[in-house]
Amino acid sequence: MIPQAQVWTGARMQPPALAKLEDVATVSVSLVGEAKDWYNEAEQADAIIVNGTNRITGEVMDRLPKLRVVARTGIGVDRINLDAATERGIMVVNTPEGPTESTAEHAIALMLNLCKQVAVTDRILRSGSEFPAYSQLTQGLETRDTLLGLVGLGRIGTRVAEIARVLGMKVLAYDPYISPKRAEGLGVALVGSLEELLPKANVVSLHSPATPETRHLINARTLAMMRRGSYLVNVARGALVDEQALLDALNSGQLAGAGLDVYDPEPPASDNPLFKHPHTICTPHTAAFTTASVLRMQVMACEQVALALSGEKPTHLVNAQVWEKRKR
């Protein structure tokens, strides 16, 4: 144990989270946040807790000579150089269960908003227009007995499936890492390929990690496979979608709408044409930004840091090779 270990965080921690560290370390909260040069503040930190807005590269790690732990309040660690961390013996931990419920609910909210034409008709009234004739509107989609296609059936995808089934939807999923037995237990029909899933689904919701293999998984070719007039929801990672191809599919009517919480790159350009498109709903990566989710992620991140600084293996150690090297 390191009684006087130092933890730097870019955001103020709530009391239940700080309580997890009180016997292990002192905590300092950034005065500038993660958006600016915070490295001098964290120079003596044994651990840092970040929310993922900045990239933690090998160069950043080298500016923090005492660094032993990088904790991410959330799931994605694509902005942390895992190879560089492992090479330097730095543990990277995350909070995979923390944002599950809020992110899943956000995906469902975007789906229902799209299917019921909520944002489209709200914009018409806010523009000062009179009630439009029904002939001027696109009919909405009643979700009961329709097909939801999930690309990824991890924690969040699983919860989306559970909620969708309560709504009366039939759920298909493509995930090469999930067994048919597990999918069956969730009441989900597992398909063997993206090509099999896309033509069947009325709504496609993405729940895959960002990896070199999944970059632009949704592109001009795969969008053309989707049912004409179907919907796309992405609360996972922006890199999964080729945004120009998505824009073309919306303009052609191949897709009836898209609900997006993530973009490529982030932050996106303020003039991104998807923001002004009449058939999109765009939120600024806020799916997990709820009172319950933020607290849960903070508590979990502090728990992981406390374990690591106490010499115990964190339960959510992303780069497990670091721990194996310590044992040699």
Question: What are the residue numbers of the active site?
Answer: 237, 266, 285
- Please give the Cα distance from 215 to 169 (Å, whole number): 28
The two tokens of residue 263 are: 């973009």
Cβ(73)–Cβ(95) below 8 Å: yes
- Please give the Cα distance from 271 to 288 (Å, whole number): 24
Cβ(198)–Cβ(232) below 8 Å: no
- Please give the Cα distance from 299 to 259 (Å, whole number): 30
Q: Which residues contact 293 (CB under 8 A, 6 or more apart)?
A: 98, 99, 101, 102, 103
**Phi, psi angle pair for 157, to nearest 5°:** -60, -40
Secondary structure (3-state) at 221 = helix
- Please give the Cα distance from 75 to 93 (Å, whole number): 9
The set of long-range contacts for 211-219, using a CB threshold of 8 Å and a minimum separation of 24, is 211/78, 214/239, 214/240, 215/239, 215/240, 216/240, 216/241, 216/242, 216/245, 217/151, 217/241, 218/242, 218/245, 218/246, 219/245
- Please give the Cα distance from 35 to 118 (Å, whole number): 34
Residue with tokens 């999944």: 214
Secondary structure (3-state) at 212 = coil
At residue 50, what is the residue type? V
